[in-house]
Amino acid sequence: MAPPTTQLQGGAAAIEAILQKATNPDSDFRYMALNDLSALAGASLLTPLSAKLEADVTSTIFKLIDDPNSSVRVMAVRTLAALAPHLAVRNIEIVIERLASLLATQVKDKEYLRDLACSGVRGVASALPSGERTGGWVVEMVGKWMAALAKEPLETIQSDILDTVAELLLRHGRSSVLKHASGPAFLASLRPAALAITTNARPALRKRAGTLLATIHPFLAADAALLTLDALVADIVAGKGGDDVSKSHMATIGALLRAPGVAFPSDRMAPLVNVFVGVASKVDADAMDADDEDDDNYDQDTAAATGSNELREAALLAIDAAIARYPSESPVLAVVPIAVAAVQHDPNYMYDEDQDGDRIGTPVGGEPADDAMDAEDEAADQDDEEDEDDEDDAGYSDDEDVSWKVRRAAARLLSTIITSRGDLAAELVPLIGPVLTRRFEEREEGVRNEVLGTYAALLGAAIAQGPESPAALAIKSHRTMFHRRFKKYVLLSKSAATRQQGFAVLQAALVAFDWSHVRDSAAAAWSLAVAQALGTVPGLALAGAGAAATTIKMDALAFTGAWARYRPMTAMGETPTSLVVPAASAAILADAVLRSGVTDAYYKVAAAAYRVASDLVPALVAHENNGMLKGMMDAAQDVMGVAAADEEVKDAALSLLAEIVADGGDRVAPVYADKAKWGAVLAKRLANELARLSATRAITTIIERGPAVVDVSALVPEVAPEFVANLRKQARSVREASLQALMAVLSAYPAAVTPQLANQTLTEAAQLLVDEDLALTALALKLSSMVLSSAGAALGAVAGTAASATLPAMLKLITSPLVASAPPALAALTSAFGVVSMVDASAFAPALVPANMYTAVQSVKGGQPAVQAKVLASIARSAGGNVNAATLVGELVAAVNGGQVLAILTLGELGRSVDLTTVGIPSLLTAVMAQYTAEADTVRSAAAYAAGAMAAGAPRAYLPVLLQGIQAPATGALGHRARYLNMLALKQVLVSAAEIPDMAHYEDGLWEALFAVSASSAAAAASAAAAATAASATTTTPVNAAGESGESARLLIAECLGRIATLKPERYVPDIVQRMAASDATGAADVRVSSMGALKYMFAHGSPVVDAALAPHLAALVARIRDPVLQVRRAALSAMQAAAHARPHVLLRPVVDGADKSVLLFDTMLALVVSETVVRPELIREVIMGPYKHRIDDGLDARRMAFEIIVTVSSSARLIPAMRSRTGPLLDAVQRGISDLQDVQLLAYLALSKLAAAAPAAVLVRIDSMVDAFAKVTINATTKKDALKQDIERAGELARAALRAVASVARALGGYSGDAAAGDAKSTSVASSSTAAVPAVVVQGAPKLSEFIGAVARSPLAHEWQAAEQMAIGGVGVVVGSGLDPSAMEIS
């Protein structure tokens, strides 16, 4: 729209001036007057209009609707739409009524008025506010328009009327019409009228009637959609109206299937799809019969062929809609042959019979690189080049040939099948893969790109099943055929769009075909394709200047980088370092990147090219291509000297330079010869404020390789002081990088660090020894340790700084409770004290004497005992002869007898690394275990920890004592407590099991003892509870029977069993399975609970060896989710949660079900998990407490764990492809969950957020049916007058969780603009207006959700909604509060 020509603002005077110009005889003036008025209204520059002025404006515009000039008429309608929000509601209704009255105009040559009336109503009606009044008015107007439809003689006007009615109902059906008393009945009356039009002789009317049906059915009763479906299907089966009507009916059914809020019974999908399959099959058979009868029939009856193709397309599109909506319920495998045949349907073009290149059955280990095969391919390539021009010239294109529509629909259908049923990849790859590969020769560009996209989806589905899955092995057998045909028909295509799509396919093919086995001839073809895309090899023109050329360059560079970085995965999951880019290909790629990529005018392309060049460096170094490396170094250094170059480009160039120097080293001539030059460039970039971070990282990369690779000792004195100075910078990333750089310097060039520089380093590092950022603290501690340990003769110069700055900061860290929960910082702190103890600095700083440090640490006020003990043990171990071991241990034992926690823990930490039996003090373990009876829980826990640590250091002496304590009969509460503490001690032993050489002697004994305790845990818990009751009457010692002898003991047993089983999984996993099976007969549920807990630990801390041991038993383990005992089901769910989180690939293994059919373990597990989300009335009991009755749901924990699994599955990149075909049951579970108890609701909302991100199309269909549940806990939530503060807080937490879920769903479904989605989130709250109430966020296809969002934005919850939007748009918040920790042994 042009800007307003008038300079006045939108006041009364300006409007009067515009109205005056609108009456000018010159049509140009009238047009510009309307344009000015429309621009003022659109820019919100109009001041409130008076009633008279509103009337004058609308009257003038209506006169211009019948203007002789057509441009003025169209602009008049547009102006009405722009002006409508500024009018009073009654005036909007009057405008629409006047527009509607134009439908009655039957004057000759005035048909355009009826057309403009429809357009005007669609534009103006959006300004009407929601409500009952608008609903009644819409009912009245739609009724008049439907009556006018029967009298309208022109098809175009009839189509406009139907479009207008559909748009009115789409905008106001749910928000207004349904709120009016007559609304529901009126909407129901439209269904038969629209259904009757679907058999009209005019195709345009049938199409719009189908749109109208899809619009109104979300507002009708559930059975209405089924009645419509049955009527349409009956017409199709009976052939009523011929093929044209059948085609329209199938399009209507597709629209109904895609319509949100319209649901069909799942058992109706298979028969429905079979009807469509029958139509497509019949059309195909008829076409074949026609071809057999006479080859000339197609030319004689083009119209019939066109109709058949369109009917077949409609059938395929309808099948596509059904499978997209109901993937699990549709007969997918029965559809595949129909789609495969259709994607090859091109009766009017004769393709080459290129059988020589169609080799299926490539060995999985790679292609045979024999000379005969290469010669054969070279000859074929020459033929291809000779025929290339002929093929392009013969690209048959006939405007009357619409068979391409069939192929396009079939390709889309196959893509839908692949993406929605990834679990069937093993069956789909052999059926679809070879056909799609042959269809690379497709003559229509749009269809060819659809085929390529479908093939990429097939590759992705095969990869998602795992590298050794049947699908992955099957796709690898197509490698040779793929290389041959992809090169000929895609890489050599004259279409830039095809080649661009080809690079996306190649990226997926990297992993699917394992390019470590690609032949040199194929690799050369890919290299040339990249060079052609970058414009360095003649033969194929780029897409032209601008965005198209840039896009294909970026895609080519992305593929090149992925190829250079690709490393094949071994059977054990490790990535070897072998390169996969051959020498010739590396040279071609590097040349293209160097000549065209890094010199590109667009900075994004240039920066990407430099990054890709960095990826190519290892291959160039390995192939000793010094010339190319020299060129890259020169280009990188040159661009860093260009002041106008973008900083992103310079940073990428700097990374390239560092990669060449670090990988090549002094053995590469360009690196050695130009050392002074590139050294000066690095130093200059380090001094640059903007480049400081990237320069620090680049120099660190070089220094870390060490002087044996590249000697940069001359550079260190210049850059090291800069690193020290950067430790004071505010940017955390700069400080972190500087710490790592200084550690690299001290490791590679310690002699280059002068005493002055060492002092400065210690001083600056000491400033970072705070608990505000423990990650940086750990690095600073390591750096300080390295400075002291490498000081040598300069120790005297740095000892004073260490004593005055470093040591006080380290002592202060001991008082921080955060250090104990940060293992890296704790390990660095203890190591730093050990290093200081080993340094003989007594002559320079008495504070650094080990004995003095020991006393200082011991006397720290407010110190954390766990941290103090580790530090004291580190000092004692490192001091060596400076500390008398016997004296120290004797002092500790005396303190232990007094119940001092610090002494107990210190003795344990010493015993972990030193065999205390050699000290000469007897009964050390007895002294520690005597504290089991202490009154304080902290003393008892410390004693158990110390006993376990001592047993880890001296297993032969102490481990049998712990085993005896576990096996001893437990009598009374104190006896059960002692056993529990002994098991805590055993856990400490198992933590260090890998470091104990004699551990194998004790594993079997511990294994049996733990299972023996597990089998008797139920009786023990009851006995302990009774003993606790008796003890409470006779002693003041607190005994927590439930905590130390009940559930906590069972969890501890499970963890210990899991740790032992992880040591030798091939031995203990079968034993676990056997014991669980035996416990079914004996009824020992506790054995099964402990066994599942052990398996949970193994899943959470697994390895490839553990996976191999678990593989044969996974189906039996998953089946435990339906165990008859509730506690076992909870334990099984907890174990599956750990598997889904830490080892998702194990769930993708195929297993054999009860019908001897191979299915994915994931499918079996998911079905069982969903069954646990249902509320079970038999698990709900009522407890009477005085005058009150409480309902206790024993199944709550199982439902909560089931939803935790759903959340994890929906968040896992490995499991999402398999999950997408099971979204229906998952959404059913979520819909139940958001109406469950609050603990389940919170997880259900989180699961909905994750599902929306993973499968937005499936969520879109169901989301409107969940809006009532959202409203119940948010805008419609009620609080009792006597509600407690805790209840109010819980209700607020639930409301916020619901709003976060809604915001996340809206974002996933495209409800936010591009700017908002990019992170520029602004408030979407809108104030209520007398003229309009526009929803804050509009989700296309979910009107009820959009209406709810608008209501929330105008409610008292607006502030919470804005916060939820910020979290959703920023990508945070949807995972907050899950609290899922697979390593935690919680099986309650």
Per-state percent for the chain, helix, strand, coil, to nearest 5: 75, 0, 25
Q: What residues contact residue 28 under an 8 Å CB cut-off, 6+ apart?
A: none
Q: How far apart are CA 537 and CA 528, in angstroms?
A: 7
One DSSP character per residue, 376-392 reads HHHHHHHHHHHHHHHHH
3-state secondary structure of 1185: strand
Residue 1189 pairs with which residues in a beta bridge? 1184
pLDDT value, residue 341: 93
One DSSP character per residue, 1022-1072 reads HHHHHHHHHHHHH------HIIIIIHHHHHHHHHHHHHHHHHSHHHHHHHH
pLDDT value, residue 287: 56
Query: Residue 299 pLDDT > 80, yes or no?
Result: no
Q: What is the pLDDT of residues 791-805, one digit of tens each?
A: 877 777 788 888 889
Query: Residue 1171 pLDDT > 90, yes or no?
Result: yes
Percent of the chain scoring above 70 in pLDDT: 85
Which DSSP state fits 949?
H
Joined tokens for residue 916:
């205390």
Question: One-letter amino acid identity for 595?
Answer: R
Joined tokens for residue 72:
């003025």
Q: What is the pLDDT of residues 606-658, one digit of tens each?
A: 999 999 999 999 989 888 888 899 899 899 999 988 888 999 999 999 999 99
Give the C-alpha distances (Å, rounded to integers) separating 26 from 13, 22, 67, 74, 76.
Answer: 22, 9, 11, 16, 15
Q: What is the pLDDT of residues 349-394, one digit of tens each?
A: 776 655 444 444 444 444 444 444 444 445 445 444 444 444 444 4
Q: At what angle do helices 626-640 and 647-664 cross, to 10 degrees?
A: 150
Q: What is the pLDDT of residues 90-140, one digit of tens each?
A: 888 888 888 878 776 666 667 778 778 888 888 888 777 877 888 888 888
pLDDT value, residue 883: 64
pLDDT value, residue 45: 64
pLDDT value, residue 746: 92
pLDDT value, residue 284: 64
3-state secondary structure of 511: helix
pLDDT value, residue 1323: 36
Q: How far apart are CA 29 and CA 5, in angstroms?
A: 11
Query: Residue 986 pLDDT > 90, yes or no?
Result: yes
Joined tokens for residue 1209:
């599955």
Give the ranges where 1222-1378 is alpha helix by DSSP (H): 1223-1233, 1238-1254, 1256-1263, 1267-1273, 1285-1308, 1314-1317, 1343-1353, 1358-1369
Q: How far apart are CA 764 and CA 766, in angstroms?
A: 5
Query: Residue 1209 pLDDT > 50, yes or no?
Result: yes
Which DSSP state fits 1180?
E
Query: Residue 543 pLDDT > 70, yes or no?
Result: no
Mean pLDDT on 756-769:
93
**Contact of 731 with 718, CB cutoff 8 Å:** no
Residue showing tokens 């509730």: 1126
Average pLDDT, the chain: 82
Q: At what angle do helices 155-172 and 132-151 cross, to 10 degrees?
A: 170
Mean pLDDT on 416-430:
88
Q: What is the pLDDT of residues 919-972, one digit of tens each?
A: 878 888 999 999 999 989 999 999 999 999 999 999 999 999 999 998 888 777
Query: Residue 902 pLDDT > 50, yes or no?
Result: yes
Phi, psi of 516 (to 5 degrees): -70, -15
pLDDT value, residue 1156: 59
Query: Residue 1218 pLDDT > 90, yes or no?
Result: no
pLDDT value, residue 734: 94
Q: What is the pLDDT of residues 1327-1356, one digit of tens each?
A: 333 333 434 577 777 778 888 998 898 889
pLDDT value, residue 1383: 35
Mean pLDDT on 273-297:
69
Mean pLDDT on 145-155:
83
3-state secondary structure of 913: helix
Query: Residue 990 pLDDT > 90, yes or no?
Result: yes
